[in-house]
Structure 1
Amino acid sequence: MNKKEQSLSIIKPDGVSRKLIGQVVKRLEENSINIIAMKMIHMSIKEAQGFYAVHKKRPFFNSLTDFMSSGPAVVMVLEGEDVIAKYRKLMGATNYKEAAEGTIRKDFATDIEKNVVHGSDSLESAAFEIGYFFNSFEING
């Protein structure tokens, strides 16, 4: 059953510093994923900790939040039919070594943390994540 959904996408600091913004956007557009909001941000450590609060007890929490606050990132709201699953497939596995050929992470990631992109994993996380970075006036969907 297809349904119109929204997902958050982040081009992480490694993707921005390596000048991959255009490559990621091109892949979204080529796969009929609509970008309905986009901006560049630079999270503070506190903002990164708030965004990744769900992982607070995980061993990678500190390195993840340090990395995500290390430089600018591009946040986008994506919209389309089953966009959460569609974008997760396009991103590839979190561990880029296990990602399918032709996915963003397989093609561009340099390690498990510096894997270029983030995408919401459920409708619930998408609602939280989009609201964390965007207000209703910034979303054009």
Structure 2
Amino acid sequence: MHSSSPVGEITDIVKKLNSGASFYADAISHVASENYQAMFTRMQEEKVRAINTLQPLSNLEKDNAKAGSNGCIELRHLYTSILATIASDHDYTYMKQLIEVEESILHAIDKALDVGPPPEQASTLRLVRTRMQQCHDEMLSLHSAAVSQIA
């Protein structure tokens, strides 16, 4: 469900964050690299913090905020699980797909800001966006390091 109201957009973000946190939790258990596990744990923790920050501004009640999910991210998660079974490098496969999750979350936050939320909501969204941009940048740095090791 996509809504053009600030509350509807924030609800969509919370669902994406929840799916992203779940995806990271699964990735932690499937990657071999301790560095990836540590990075993914930090990313998952940031998603949970963002959920807790945005949930009061959403249509989701506190108990339901962790149950909400985003179909697109859930499909990417399933796709990655299947791809990882045939890929030679599980760590890289998960990392590459999680970068896409980060981009999806940033896009959703930008969309919510474009709707023109009230100032207090906009401020909260910008704060969460800054943290999610840091997550995205860290994942890109991890990707760059992985690519340079392959080359």
Fold shared by both chains (TM-score > 0.5): no
Higher share in strand: 1
TM-score of the aligned structures, taking structure 1 as reference length = 0.31
Greater RCO (Cα-Cα under 8 Å, separation 6 or more)? 1
Higher share in helix: 2
TM-score of the aligned structures, taking structure 2 as reference length = 0.29
Q: Which has the larger radius of gyration?
A: 2
